[in-house]
């Protein structure tokens, strides 16, 4: 295992429809075998960044207008999604993770893959082994799955593409805490088994920091803060703003920020 970064973003700007600058000057990296998290409020630019890396911003009439995105020495800026998949990056998106009218098995076999048929079969078997709930429902339509099962399938169907780097947008969104914990445990086992690297987007900082070796905090399209797990846990700003360090056990950025603003209005910030 080498320490050279697998993915490096430098000075990346993304503009939607020639007008809306969603992110500005983003610089981040993911090393081999690392789990990196992007945290931040609604509209901070987290999804835009993942879609810029995976090539899907093109579908939203957006472009990388400045900076570089380099994966294993290859430039990815404004390339097409299937080209990027072929290089070894897959994404489990925030929405539309599965094809609802196809069965679980069909979902697992529909995406283009870098793997040989034998490797593909091995990976499919591994996914069903790690997610027995999916195996039990392999002939059910994906539209009938629970939120947790849908997330498992969204991840499993992308593992079958054979990525070296998996991007996951909002792993925990809408899931019960117990299901989230189960997913985290399985995903970390799969990561070790396959030697994957992960770049996660999360609004739930507690979840992100449970998994991540390193985290970037986005605010209004820019990186406001970054650091390793120890730094994040030790940082008072992060503690208060993201980890519910204050009363009430707030678990996401938006709640924490709202609480801070209310305190500010009352002159106690
Ligand atoms: N298709 C689009 N067309 C124009 N602007 C967009 C589009 N998608 C996102 N934006 C804008 O880009 C900015 C960043 O949005 P993005 O979806 O990346 O944020 P996010 O951090 O993922 O937020 P959330 O937590 O709500 O998912 C926002 O100002 C948003 O309005
Ligand atoms: Mg998003």
**Which-ligand-closest: CA of 24?**
1
**Which-ligand-closest: CA of 19?**
1
pLDDT digits (tens, 9 = 90+) for 121-163: 999 999 999 999 999 999 999 999 999 999 999 999 999 999 9
Q: Whose CA is nearest to atom 6 of ligand 1?
A: 16
Q: Whose CA is nearest to atom 4 of ligand 1?
A: 16
pLDDT digits (tens, 9 = 90+) for 88-115: 999 999 888 999 999 999 999 998 899 9
Q: Whose CA is nearest to atom 26 of ligand 1?
A: 42
Q: Are strands 20-31 and 5-16 parallel, antiparallel or unpaired?
A: antiparallel
48 lines ligand 1 (CB under 6 A): yes
**Domain 5-88+164-265, what architecture?**
3-Layer(aba) Sandwich (3.40)
Q: Whose CA is nearest to atom 12 of ligand 1?
A: 22
Q: Whose CA is nearest to atom 24 of ligand 1?
A: 42
Contact 197, 165 (CB under 8 A): yes
**Which-ligand-closest: CA of 169?**
2
The closest of 190, 193, 212 to 201, measured between CA atoms, is 212
| Residue 41, pLDDT score | 85
Q: Binning pLDDT at 50, 70 and 90, where does residue 246 land? A: very low
Contact 102, 110 (CB under 8 A): yes
Q: Is the pLDDT of residue 247 over 80?
A: no
11 lines ligand 1 (CB under 6 A): no
56 lines ligand 1 (CB under 6 A): no
What does the pLDDT average to over 16-30?
A: 95
The closest of 54, 266, 73, 50 to 163, measured between CA atoms, is 54
Q: 203 C-alpha to center of ligand 1: Å? A: 14
203 lines ligand 1 (CB under 6 A): yes
Q: 221 C-alpha to center of ligand 2: Å? A: 12
Q: 147 C-alpha to center of ligand 2: Å? A: 17
What does the pLDDT average to over 49-60?
A: 96
Q: Binning pLDDT at 50, 70 and 90, where does residue 203 land? A: confident
Annotated domain spans of the chain: 5-88+164-265, 96-162
**Which-ligand-closest: CA of 22?**
1
Q: What percent of the chain has pLDDT over 70?
A: 87
| Three-state SS annotation for the chain | CCCCEEEEEEEEEEEECCCEEEEEEEEEEEECCCEEEEEECCCCCHHHHHHHHHCHHHHHCEEEEEEEEEECCEECCCCCHHHHHHHCEEEECCCCCCCCCCEHHHHHHHCCCCCCHHHHHHHHHHHHHHCHHHHHCCCCEHHHCCHHHHHHHHHHHHHCCCCCEEEEECCCCCCCHHHHHHHHHHHHHHHHHHCCEEEEEECEHHHHHHHCCEEEEEECCEEEEEEEHHHHHHCHHHHHHHCCCCCCCCCEHHHHHHHHHHHHHCCCC
Q: What is the pTM of this model?
A: 0.90
């Amino acid at each position: 295992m080498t320490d050279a970064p697998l993915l490096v973003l430098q000075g990346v700007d993304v503009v939607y429809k020639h007008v809306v600058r969603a992110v500005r000057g983003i610089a981040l990296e993911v090393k081999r075998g690392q789990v990196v998290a992007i945290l931040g409020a609604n509209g901070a630019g987290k999804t835009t960044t993942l879609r810029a890396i995976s090539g899907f911003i093109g579908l939203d009439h957006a472009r990388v207008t400045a900076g570089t995105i380099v994966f294993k020495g290859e430039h990815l800026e404004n390339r097409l999604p299937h080209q990027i998949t072929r290089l070894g990056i897959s994404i489990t998106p925030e929405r539309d993770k599965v094809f609802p009218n196809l069965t679980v098995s069909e979902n697992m076999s529909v995406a283009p893959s870098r793997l040989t048929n034998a490797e593909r079969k091995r990976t499919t078997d591994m996914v069903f082994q790690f997610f027995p709930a999916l195996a039990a429902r392999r002939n059910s339509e994906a539209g009938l799955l629970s939120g947790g099962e849908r997330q498992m399938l969204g991840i499993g169907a992308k593992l079958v593409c054979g990525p070296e780097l998996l991007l996951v947008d909002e792993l925990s969104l809408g899931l019960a805490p117990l299901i989230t914990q189960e997913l985290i445990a399985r995903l970390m086992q799969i990561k070790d088994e396959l030697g994957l690297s992960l770049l996660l987007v999360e609004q739930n900082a507690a979840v992100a920091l449970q998994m991540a070796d390193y985290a970037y905090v986005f605010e209004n399209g820019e990186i406001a803060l970054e650091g390793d797990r120890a730094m994040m846990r030790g940082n008072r700003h992060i503690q208060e703003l993201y980890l519910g360090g204050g009363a009430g056990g707030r678990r996401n950025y938006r709640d924490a920020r709202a609480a801070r603003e209310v305190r500010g209005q009352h002159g106690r910030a």
